[in-house]
Amino acid sequence: MPPRNLATIAWNLGVHDVNRLRSVVRAWCQILDRSRPDLVVQDFGLISGLVARCLGIKTIRIGTGYTCPPRSETPIDLPWFTKRDENDGLANSGSASEPRGSATDVYIAAMKNIAVACRANGLPVPARWDEVVHGGPEDVLATLPLLDPYATVRRPSRWDGVWEGATATGEDRHADAAIRDCSSKSVLAYLKPFDHWREFFKALKELRVHVDLVADGVGDELLRQCDPDCVRLCSGFQSIPQAARRGMALINNGNHGSTALSLLHGMPVIACPLFFEQRLTAEAIDGAGIGTHLDVRFPDQFTTTLDEALFQKPCHARAKRFKRRHSKLFYDQIDRVLNRFVG
């Protein structure tokens, strides 16, 4: 079952285990007591920020829209669930922490475990959900409105875009040699393995699409199924800005960062999601007409979907328009973010 809200995500990430949670809270107390930082920057992990605030240390929460929902006394469900059956989606990997009962039941159980862990370590007990997740005066939303699944219920709203890291910027100068000269029939692919890998690359070959592949965690057996005449294996980072300038499309698993970066460079995306969060991204770009959601569970649809995405749908032109409208607002705005919080 896909997680309905941040409380369910937190439950899956360890809040379900009260004994472990007590140890984690104790460890953060010790770390922060020794280091005494002026500021703790946290992501969707809750405990570091909660302990820091209990110790009087300022915090800032940074994350995508999915991991930084609007603040409220109780968790806000993803708006996606108002339109869909909760079983109509890709679920995260099952585990012993799979929540039982309703989202409300999970929230109540999570708050009880957090209370036990706080009391055991001499910390004040949060009474409401916003006291658990509250960061500074506002959160840093490292995303775009299009890719924020809470955008329709987020008030007030401010999105801070995506920022290229030092590695990406540094390697960008050398990317010309790394990425093949290409046409609209070439793609840059950042992919993890999935069940119908062979059929997927067979479909790309039938369409005569050349692929520069950055394989993440893909075993040799699957890689041998990629025809070297149309698939070039790349080691390490490949520049998305350089690929965009050559008119390539991106194929990924619906990862937030690479999708946002590609769109801000005018590069359409074919998203092949493996998990629920990635599906939200895939549906968003497909609905906006600047990308395509390819469902990896249905190999009989691969050829048709890829053909439409690469040769039929006007995604390239729409992605270029998206870049012109949004890149100045949301691309590489780290200085603006730092000035707002530090300057």
DSSP string covering 54-101, please?
HTT-EEEEEE-TTTSPPP-SSPPPPGGGGTS-TTSSPPPPP-TT---S
Q: Which helix (H) or strand (E) holds 339?
A: helix 334-341
Structure confidence at residue 85 (pLDDT): 61
Is the pLDDT at 330 greater than 80? The verdict is: yes
Q: What is the largest CA-CA distance in the chain?
A: 64
The reply to whether omega before 156 is within 30° of 0 (cis) is: yes
More confident residue, 338 or 100: 338
Q: Can you tell me the distance from the alpha carbon of 254 to that of 285, in angstroms, rounded to the nearest whole number?
A: 10
Lookup: tokens for 39: 């500021």
Per-residue pLDDT tens for 40-60? 988 888 999 999 999 999 998
Structure confidence at residue 23 (pLDDT): 98
Structure confidence at residue 92 (pLDDT): 53
For residue 307, what are the CA distances in angstroms to 176, 187, 313?
27, 13, 9
For the segment 163-187, the average pLDDT, to the nearest whole number, is: 52
Q: What percentage of the chain has pLDDT greater than the value 90? A: 69
DSSP 8-state code for residue 110: H
- Confirm if 163 and 64 have CB atoms less than 8 A apart: no
Per-residue pLDDT tens for 221-262? 999 999 999 999 998 889 999 999 989 999 999 999 999 999
Residue with tokens 């799979």: 98
Per-residue pLDDT tens for 80-123? 998 776 555 555 544 445 566 788 999 999 999 999 999 999 99
48-82: b (≥16 Cβ within 10 Å) or e: bbbbbbbeebbbbbbbbbbbbbbbeeebbbbebee
Q: What percentage of the chain has pLDDT greater than the value 70? A: 89
196-211: b (≥16 Cβ within 10 Å) or e: bbeebbbbbbebebbb
pTM summary value: 0.88
Band the pLDDT of 173: cuts 50, 70, 90.
Answer: very low
Structure confidence at residue 168 (pLDDT): 42
